[in-house]
Amino acid sequence: MLALGLALPVATVDSAMAAASAAPLYKDASAPVDARVDDLLARMTLDEKIAQITTVWESKVKIFNDRLQLDPVKLRALYPNGLGHFARPSDAKGAVSPRVAPGRDPRATVALVNALQKWAMTQTRLGIPILFHEEGLHGYAAVGATSFPQSIAMASSFDTAMLRDVNSVIAREIRARGVPMVLSPVVDIARDPRWGRIEETFGEDPYLVGEMGVAAVEGLQGEGHARDLRPGKVFATLKHLTGHGQPESGTNVGPAPYSERELRENFFPPFEQVVKRTGIEAVMASYNEIDSVPSHMNHWLLGDVLRGEWGFRGAVVSDYSAIDQLMSIHHVAGSLEEAATRALDAGVDADLPDGLSYATLGKLVREGKVSEAKVDKAVRRMLELKFRAGLFENPYADAATAEAITNNADARALALRAAQRSITLLKNDGMLPLKPEGSIAVIGPSAAVARLGGYYGQPPHTVSILDGIKAKVGSRASIVFAQGVKITEDDDWWADKVVKSDPAENRELIAQAVEAARNVDRIVLTLGDTEQSSREGWADNHLGDRSSLDLVGEQQALFDALKALGKPIAVVLINGRPASTVKVSEQANAILEGWYLGEQGGNAVADVLFGDVNPGGKLPVTVPRSVGQLPMFYNVKPSARRGYLFDTTDPLYPFGFGLSYTTFSLSAPRLDAISIGTGGSTGVSVDVRNTGRRTGDEVVQFYIRDKVSSVTRPIKELKGFERVTLKPGEVRTVTFTISPESLQMWNDQMHRVVEPGEFDIMTGNSSVALQSTTLTVTP
């Protein structure tokens, strides 16, 4: 008004200016984030700072009343210095199975989040909002949310665009409830199928895992390097840095006894790609040790490499109780105080999930054992997340919006599409696709239940394979069902105790299944896992890893009994880990690998079984024939796998393998230039033709091999892939770029270089079906 020449009363002008000058800088949304953090830090007491780097999860029940609703009196008494970080507001009361204590629906979650934020913003001294996080590995792990295929299944799609779309839906469902952070994705390479968490990964290959990891983060946060959180997006948390995916003996949190070269060539690349190509703002350290140094106290890993070499600027958060485990498991700290000191020194900024170790830091600072400046550094990074999420301006959510977008029609359609594109056809003698006629027996422990996998949510509706088949065929075919066997007595992922089902009971179920199938035309048989027989083993009393890759219990006996009937059998594998199904692979007429397919899995399997969808997935892992072949992955060194007495070194199924209902032919690779310099680039092209009678998808894969090098190199390494859809007779040329990044290696001086020489350039539709040409790289 003054600029327009309009007069204001002097008192009004003075009061407005006084109010503006009295407002602290940290509450000025127009000020730079760094300046706002500086201003807020300068105003905080030590106890208020410690509150910002600790978390509440299992202790949340202490601030609830008997109806699990927030009690403001308890809240004020327990957290007089504010509350920095709150874990999983959608669950009922911490680490309890949702089958025992059902979680909160969208409206109830929003009510809790808003109540906590109102208290933090209006009842604490400085009005610092709370940072909430949730799980969202393959869907928001909450009541009512959409459940997508498990990560290893979506990796089988070899479709980064689809994965980006899936994670965009996950982000919007989480953010709608007022939560700006998710503990996902997992970009550990997984090279031991005994490890129960293999299902949470994108497979064994550094390049594939890196591309999928980038796509997941772009879906969660948005594309580009923007650090400020956008509407409908959440901060991703990259985990677990690193070595977690190939633990000693295949047991969770076991040592990762790997050299720096092995780390840099295989374990680091997915993390590095995400850090350098996205705006990732949070990284989670891994439980394991590397060369006797646990990751949560590893200065080299978290400081020199992550922040130094890769330029990461965000926050490093602990895995759940991992700082405490420096004392309780690793024995590199004699107390929680010492554990906190070592983790803080290494650069861990937040103690999840209950802050037991970092709660001791206030005392340590007052005793002069820890510098307050180190605490400030961690607090700064956690505050930056809150400012960049816009929480100081609007920390609240809208329940109506959350209800409207959660598991809506678009989300359910994407869940179906993701499941369809994740299914991999491993064998087919012509039995598939089925015709919707005659009689079909649907049998197996996963036929009538939709298995969602670990870190599952609670979607409003799930579709079992039996339901999907019945809906598909209607009255055109007769469907009979039998369970066949039980795998485990319970299938609750959260439950500690796991008991295999009674063999005698299973023998009775097998007999019933044989009678049910005796007069049918065809059999669809599900085999594999439950959420208990393959899962995260997070404690000594909660195990999830296995010493065998064979089918659990009497599943093989069920297959044998049904095979003896002489009926065509199509096997659908529903599992969390690769299974050594040698006999099944030899004798089944058709095999689909589904992994865990999410809420729409039954419809997707039916679509594939009856030919409405042509399967196009590829294996993101090598499937061994037996546990004795481990470790088994495709990108081995030249001296590996000389041979075994009385057995083969060949896998049951190779990495990148997958069939189709149509056929494809791929040309030999063609180089734009047959010679380039060490800093040069060129293109490699391959023609792919659909030579069959159905429209279908093929995944064209590009590998390289350095023929002669200063240190040993793998016999092949994936450097590109593209999934294409072709009509019958259609031809498409797929082109990949060969850049210095494609050719670089760590040489005998541990420098990352491109060495001159000859390289095999290989293309094909799996890691074993390849054609090659030679590229010469000159000095």
Catalytic annotation, residues: 319
CA-to-CA dists, residue 108 to 68, 133, 146, 172, 274, angstroms: 10, 16, 17, 17, 34
Q: Return the structure tokens found at 475.
A: 């009255």
CB 594 within 8 A of CB 601: yes
CB 773 within 8 A of CB 672: no
CB atoms within 10 A of CB 474: 9
Distance (Å, rounded) from C-alpha 126 to C-alpha 41?
A: 10
Name the CA radius of gyration of the chain, rounded. 28
Distance (Å, rounded) from C-alpha 387 to C-alpha 381?
A: 10
Distance (Å, rounded) from C-alpha 638 to C-alpha 707?
A: 10
Nearest partner of 484 among 528, 537, 421, judged by Cα: 528
Largest Cα–Cα distance in the chain? Answer: 98
List, in order, residues 6 or more apart from 768 with CB less than 8 Å away. Answer: 634, 654, 656, 657
Helices (H), 240-301: 260-262, 268-277, 299
Question: What type of residue sits at position 344?
Answer: L
E strand spans, 647-743: 664-666, 670-671, 675-677, 682-690, 696-706, 717-726, 731-738
Q: CA 202, 233, 301, 135 torsion: positive or negative?
A: negative
Q: Return the structure tokens found at 380.
A: 């700064």
Distance (Å, rounded) from C-alpha 204 to C-alpha 198?
A: 9
Kindly state the helix (H) or strand (E) to which residue 208 belongs, with its residue range.
helix 206-221
Q: How far is CA 147 from the centre of its chain?
A: 13
Residue pointed to by tokens 């050299």: 259
CA angle, 200 then 190 then 233, to 5°: 40
User: What is the number of residues in the chain?
Assistant: 779
Whether the link from the prior residue into 433 is cis, omega within 30° of 0, is: yes
Q: CA 154, 157, 158, 161 torsion: positive or negative?
A: negative
Nearest partner of 661 among 627, 705, 693, judged by Cα: 693
Angle between helices 465-473 and 601-609 in degrees, nearest 10? 50
Query: What are φ and ψ of residue 62, in 5° steps?
Result: -70, -15
Nearest partner of 98 among 432, 403, 458, judged by Cα: 458
Residue pointed to by tokens 């093989």: 556
Helices (H), 23-67: 33-43, 46-52
Q: Return the percent helix, strand and coil in the chain, to nearest 5.
A: 35, 20, 50
Whether the link from the prior residue into 85 is cis, omega within 30° of 0, is: no
Distance (Å, rounded) from C-alpha 741 to C-alpha 679?
A: 9
Helices then strands, counting H and E runs in the chain, come out as 23, 26
List, in order, residues 6 or more apart from 262 with CB less than 8 Å away. Answer: none
List, in order, residues 6 or more apart from 494 with CB less than 8 Å away. Answer: 95, 96, 97, 98, 99, 100
Question: What type of residue sits at position 490?
Answer: D
Distance (Å, rounded) from C-alpha 371 to C-alpha 375?
A: 7
CB 87 within 8 A of CB 352: yes
Distance (Å, rounded) from C-alpha 47 to C-alpha 766?
A: 57
